[in-house]
A = this chain, B = another copy of it.
Amino acid sequence: MFTVEASCLNARAGRITIGKKEIKTPAFMPVGTQGCVKALDAVDISEILKPDIILANTYHLYLRPNPETIERFGGLRAFTGCDSLFLTDSGGFQAFSLPGAKVMDEGIEFQSHIDGSTHFFTPEIVINIQHKLKSDIVMVLDDLVALPADPKRVNLSVERTLHWAEQSLVFHRTHRTDESQKIFAIVQGGTDEQLRAKSANGLNALEYENRGFDGFAIGGLSVGESSALMYETIEAVTPLLPREKPRYLMGVGTPENLIEAIDRGVDMFDCVMPSRNARNGTLFTSSGKYNIKRPIYALDNEPIDASCGCYTCRRYSKGYLSHLFRTGELTYYRLATLHNLHYYLSLMREARAAILSGRWSEFKGEFYAKRGKE
Contact = CB atoms under 8 A, between A and B. Distances in A.
A315 B64 contact: no
* Copy count, this protein chain: 2
A371 interface: no
A73 to B, nearest CB: 6
B330 A298 contact: no
Given A41-B331, A41-B335, A315-B81, A73 B301 contact: yes
A40 B69 CA distance: 29
Interface string A31-52: 0001110111111000000000
Interface stretch (A234-242, A243-251, A317-325): A317-325
Nearest to A68: B299
B36 A319 contact: no
A329 B42 contact: no
A330 to B, nearest CB: 4
A334 interface: yes
Nearest to A43: B315
Nearest to A279: B330
A330 B330 CA distance: 7
A79 interface: yes
B73 A319 contact: yes
Contacts of A299: 69, 72
Contact of A329 (B34, B317, B329): B34
B69 A36 contact: no
A218 to B, nearest CB: 29
A126 to B, nearest CB: 20
A65 interface: yes
A328 to B, nearest CB: 9
Contacts of A298: 65, 69
B34 A327 contact: yes
A326 interface: yes
A330 B38 contact: yes
A167 interface: no
Contacts of A64: 323, 326-327
Contacts of A69: 298-299, 319, 323
10 contacts: A34-B323, A36-B331, A38-B329, A40-B331, A65-B298, A65-B326, A69-B323, A72-B299, A330-B330, A330-B334
Interface of A: 34-36, 38-43, 60, 64-65, 69, 72-73, 79-81, 298-299, 301, 315-317, 319-320, 322-324, 326-327, 329-331, 333-335
